[in-house]
Amino acid sequence: SARHPLRDRGRPRPRPPPRPPPRPVDAMATLKVLVPIAENSEEIETACITDTLVRAGAAVTVASVTGTEQVKMSRGLKIVADCLIDACVGQEWDAIVLPGGMPGAEHLRDSKVLEELLKKQSGEQKVIGAMCASPAVVFGTHGLLPSKAVCYPAPKFLEILGDRLADAPAVADGHVITGTGPGTSLQFALKIVEKLYCKDKAEELAKAMLTTTAP
């Protein structure tokens, strides 16, 4: 029956239902990470980046900049990419992360498509990462180095970083994350997990993989 306005006056109004709690990270939309590779990219670094981020729950796309999906890495391992880099244009990425290796880093540097993707990503303050030779060779060339960074400790790379050089296996400076080389690949990848998700997530993964996070 219809409610009478006079009779209802003074009655307590029903409380609105409680707001649902914030969704945990795992229930949110899956984060998308792009890992570009080239002929002679470093395979240990590539594997550690992709494996760790998949363990964190990210959807990782490996894209070749060399024109063929099968790519021969720096020590002869052949990796089949998910797609060519051209297919990644026009998509939104939560992170773009580069392995190192030489001359793989130079091939990544010379990809105009990747250059534009990186500059767009960085311009939007979204995560970009590079390790080994790539911070110097790729980020240094394209003006993407932050105020603090690391790279493989070869003189020609250290010279490019100059006063920006930090003392750590992996460094996050704003939205830019850099790492040193094959032996610190897991710490670099976990630093990206920490940036995309949270420190607890990175430490949880490190414990499961029997390693540690970078300071």
Q: In sequence order, what are the beta bridge partners of 64?
A: 37, 84
Establish whether 83 is a catalytic residue: no
| CA pair distance 136, 109, nearest whole angstrom | 10
| CA pair distance 101, 56, nearest whole angstrom | 24
Catalytic residue among 48, 88, 132, 151: 132
User: Each residue of 137-166: b (16+ CB within 10 Å) or e?
Assistant: bbbbbeebbbebbbbbeeeebeebbeebbb
Question: In the numeric block, which tokens belong to residue 161?
Answer: 């970083």
Give catalytic residues, as residue numbers.
Answer: 132
